[in-house]
Structure 1
Amino acid sequence: MVSKAEPSIRKASQLWRARLYTLARVVHLYASMVSLLAVLFFAATGIILNHPEWTFGSAQTEHAYTGTLPPGWQRGGQVDWLKTAETLRTRYGLKGSVSDHRNDDQQASLSFRAPAYAADAFIRMQDGSYSLRVVQQGLVAVLGDLHRGRDAGAAWSWVIDLSGGFLLLLALTGFILSLLLRKTRRAALITALGGAGVVLWLMRSAG
């Protein structure tokens, strides 16, 4: 004997599945649109990182400078780091942000960093004279550092986090869509389990 509650339960279940399917499809669609450029960029730069022997766009330039800081770079015997950094940045067009600064009784040092870019200044505390070395690497190194998020700043860090979030949404909603469709459910589960097994085996082999 069929319970009167069973049709309503079945109907509610079908309605829930239909709503979940619609939501997953919409999220999957827009996540894929937003993630397209991120997928292209991180896929291409990942391949580049995996082949360090590739030399295109890998030219490196180095420049060395010397000079003396203007009066006022110290206040009360302490280095005015902001004024010192901006003086050097203005004189030589330095890029990036200050990543490190320190000093002792004899010498102060100041470093600027950006993707594939490094500028290091060493300053004599006695008279403000300095030497500056600037190293700029090529396009391949820039792309590699952007892929890793190295010395790219807070804004690029947000780009990486958001890209990862959208890719996660893309993968989860795609998996949900596959599970909700009866024709693809079995294949989706077999593929997911098989892929997870292969990845775990490769991770174990690499370790």
Structure 2
Amino acid sequence: MSTALFSLLIFFSVTGITLNHLDWITSSKDPQLWQGELDNTVLEGFTPPATDSLLRWMENKHSLATASNIEWDQDAQEVLLDYPFPAGYAYVIVDVESGQYSIDYQNGSFWQIINDLHKGRHAGQSWAWLIDISAVFMVLFSITGLIILWQNRPKRQVGITLTLLGTGTPILIFFLLVPHLSGV
């Protein structure tokens, strides 16, 4: 089990450190703007707010899948599509009358992306499952370690002492040194 978790454990450990020290990480890249024109096939029969053909076209043309928010601004005759992803976004504005569109987008740095993956931020359901499954395996890994420790009589006393110390230290640090609201 430990070998199956090896890479994920290192990943979550390293990103845990980088999340704790965000000042070590370079800032995001500057936002970019891309403009284009929709194919006539998308505009034919396009009647907002029904945006299925537009969404398929954006996915095929720009690899933008799963818009988190779709808005239809009737006054401006625009469709607004929001595509968040780890450490970045793409915001699409489509002028329905002219077929012109613009994509305002930003990509984060490598460290920003893996920090967002650590948190599961805008990473999708598959990544959320990976986080949950790896967490379950880490719990099982820890429990099997305790079982193996319990079976090792010569090292049991030292192991249990270290386990209690490792469990109690964060609790003590929280109550004694971390600001928090108590008595509510």
Instruction: Write the distance in 2 (CA, Å) between the matches of 1:73 and 1:137.
Output: 37
TM-score by length of 1: 0.72
Instruction: Indicate which of 38, 44, 48 corresponds to 1:72.
Output: 44
Contact 2:25 2:112 in 1 (8 A): no
Instruction: Write the distance in 1 (CA, Å) between the matches of 2:103 and 2:55.
Output: 12
Contact 2:150 2:156 in 1 (8 A): yes
What do the CA deviations read for 1:4-54 (whole angstroms, capped 9, x no partner)? xxxxxxxxxxxxxxxxxxxxxxxxxxx111111111111111111111111
Contact 2:35 2:101 in 1 (8 A): yes
Task: Give how far 1:179 is off.
Answer: 1.7
Q: Which residue of 2 aligns with 1:47?
A: 17
TM-score by length of 2: 0.80
Q: Select the structure with the greater relative contact order (CA < 8 A; seq sep ≥ 6).
A: 1
**What percent of counterpart residues are identical?**
25
What do the CA deviations read for 1:105-153 (whole angstroms, capped 9, x no partner)? 2343111122222101123455554332011111111111111111112
Aligned 1:148-187 pairs, distance under 5 A: 148-187=119-158
Contact 2:58 2:64 in 1 (8 A): no
Report how many aligned residue pairs link the two structures: 173
Instruction: Write the distance in 2 (CA, Å) between the matches of 1:96 and 1:72.
Output: 22
* Aligned residues: CA RMSD: 2.3
Partner SS for 1:98: coil
Question: Gaps spanning 5+ residues in structure 2: where?
Answer: none
Task: Give how far 1:73 is off.
Answer: 6.3
Does residue 99 in structure 1 map to residue 68 in structure 2? yes
Does residue 37 in structure 1 map to residue 7 in structure 2? yes
Instruction: Write the distance in 1 (CA, Å) between the matches of 2:70 and 2:10.
Output: 37
